[in-house]
Amino acid sequence: MAEHKTKYDRQLRIWGEQGQAALEKASICLLNCGPTGSETLKNLVLGGIGSITIVDGSKVEEGDLGNNFMVDESCIGQSKAKCVCSFLQELNDAVKAKFIEENPEELIKTNPSFFSQFTLVVATQLVEESMVKLDIICREANVMLIFARSYGLTGFVRISVKEHTVIESKPDHFLDDLRLNNPWPELTRFTETIDINVPDPVVHKHTPYVIILIKMADEWAKSHGGCLPATRDEKREFKEMIKSRMIAIDEDNYKEAIDASFKVFAPRGISSSLLHVINDPSAEVTSNSSDFWIMVAALKEFINNEGGGEAPLEGSIPDMTSSTELYVNLQKIYQAKAESDMLIVEQRVRDILKKIGRDTNSISKTKIKSFCKNARKLAVCRYRLLEDEFNSPVQPELQKYLTDDDYSIAVGFYVLLRAVDRFVTNFNSFPGQFEGVMDEDISRLKATAVGLLNDLGCNSSTLTEDLINEMCRYGAAELHAVSAFVGGIASQEIIKLITRQFIPMSGTFIFNGIDHKSQLLML
């Protein structure tokens, strides 16, 4: 166990033992092990993914040596899947690895049930027709799917799952759950035992800013008809009132109180995003509901009853200038309230489970505790079926992207990546793939792109000649630098999906290697 923790030390600090355990239980299927797929899988293998299965029917050719570091001269003529699998196994022998020598597009057509055994499928370098088929297959099997493709100096990543729920979303910036403007009785009673006007300078400068702000907010409310500061002038006056209580210039606790005074002005109750989650139709639970939605149903009951419009308290307090005794006592009060709220939610979860005919202990106390701690940060992600996006993109967004200079190249690449797949269907090769027909391919790709735009309802829109020429110049090549970048993005999103931590990106991620820009298209 000590060796395991040392091996994965850095990532354990990010997603913890629970996240690592989820990774080690996951089984991943990779379709096509060119540089994009190999780079994606490399990152997952190094991270300790449970098992990998590589599906690729091609042989290693001389050209592969220039863009895939996982094959060498000795591999020429051998199975690409076998060679890449062997290399990846060397990177982390704890990962179970196997390969299947078969064309992924044939496998999609002939054996759709094959994919149901996996946690997640990584589909790289597939053409549109196969992407659409695989998307339907994986959704029916409830298997997570992520598409990745690199093409010259561009590439894309697209997640496709019916629904993905996140408890530990870990936002970069989130307001501490201190309830400074809505203290519960135990916190109020504790605050009342402390005199912030104490003459002893040592005691005065070691009163936690939480206590200072609660008492000052109460004092303000009593002289302002029960209201807290609302206008800019009132907020400035409130800060000056705090500053006036300082008896020395080196009182860091009062400086912290002034800096944190905005927390007093924060609105009570839950955020609009949490309100959206608890009012989701899925919160009306049945025996088939997931654990997440059963806990959301219990959370909704808590907010509407015992919580008085608030979510369960998180129970942690930030570092602050304070005497050890006061800080520890304050911490215990927050932890006790959090525990009390959690127990109420837990009982509601048990009651709901009984009501819908499920085992009342099927959701662990540990899971409920984590849910309550993160209740304010819950997230639900849903993704459009790929076929729907391709046939009926969101018209206002598509038109906006096509006419916006900031997005014109990204959406141009998006359209052209689809156009080259139509090109292959019509002409049995990618544009620019063979020498001597470049001019002809440029004209054909332009006509194909115009036809695609017309089908999408964008009759008056056009793409720049330079961009069309670029796509033909690429000749469907996978450049290692672009593949490594796209693979890095894909593996990052895969880890989010498997660990159910952090919020995975929505829409289609487009990499523009010409301008070194990355953008999301919400279509």
Domain with residues 2-162+479-521, CATH architecture: 3-Layer(aba) Sandwich (3.40)
Q: Which pLDDT score is estimated for 462?
A: 80
Strands 96-100 and 51-55: parallel
- CATH 3.40.50.720 domain position(s) in the chain: 2-162+479-521
| Dihedral angle sign, alpha carbons of residues 424, 469, 523, 43 | positive
pLDDT of 174 reads 84
Give me 359's structure tokens: 């085992």
Structure tokens at 400: 């906006």
β-strands 120-124, 27-31: how paired?
A: parallel
One-letter amino acid at 363 equals I
* Paired tokens of 75: 């591999």
pLDDT given for residue 278 in this prediction: 96
pLDDT of residue 162: 94
Would you mind telling me the total number of residues written for the chain in this entry?
523
Task: Give SS3 for 39.
Answer: helix
User: In angstroms, rounded to a whole number, what is the distance separating the alpha carbons of residues 442 and 424?
Assistant: 13
Query: Terminal CA-to-CA distance of the chain, rounded, Å?
Result: 45
**Beta partners for 52?**
28, 97
pLDDT tens profile 74-105: 999 999 999 999 999 999 989 999 999 999 99
Residue 266 is predicted with a pLDDT of 86
pLDDT for 3 equals: 66
**What's the pLDDT at 363?**
95
Consecutive H or E run containing 12:
helix 9-25
Whether residue 36 contacts residue 64, with contact meaning beta carbons closer than 8 Å, is answered with no
Residues 6+ apart with CB under 8 A from 488: 39, 40, 43
pLDDT of residue 302: 97
Give 155-175 pLDDT, tens digit per residue.
Answer: 999 999 999 999 999 888 888
Instruction: Name the DSSP class of 457.
Output: T
pLDDT value for 1 = 52
> Are 521 and 397 within 8 A, CB to CB?
yes
> What pLDDT shows up at residue 64?
87
Q: Considering the entire predicted model, what is its pTM?
A: 0.91
Classify residue 321 by its DSSP letter: S
Report the chain's C-alpha Rg in angstroms. 28
Beta bridge partners of 510: 156, 519
CB 413 within 8 A of CB 154: yes
CA dist list (Å): 131 to 108, 366, 497: 9, 39, 19
Q: Tens of pLDDT along the chain (523 residues)?
A: 556 667 777 788 888 888 888 999 999 999 999 999 999 999 999 999 999 999 999 999 998 898 988 999 999 999 999 999 999 999 998 999 999 999 999 999 999 999 999 999 999 999 999 999 999 999 999 999 999 999 999 999 999 999 999 999 988 888 889 999 999 999 999 999 999 988 899 999 999 999 999 999 999 999 988 889 999 999 999 999 999 999 988 899 999 999 999 999 888 889 999 999 999 999 999 999 999 999 999 999 999 999 999 999 999 999 999 999 999 999 999 999 999 999 999 999 999 999 999 999 999 999 999 999 999 999 999 999 999 999 999 888 988 998 888 999 999 999 999 999 999 999 999 998 888 788 899 999 999 999 999 988 887 778 899 999 999 999 999 999 999 999 999 999 999 999 999 999 999 999 999 999 999 999 8
The CA dihedral of 212, 214, 215, 219, to the nearest 10 degrees, is 130
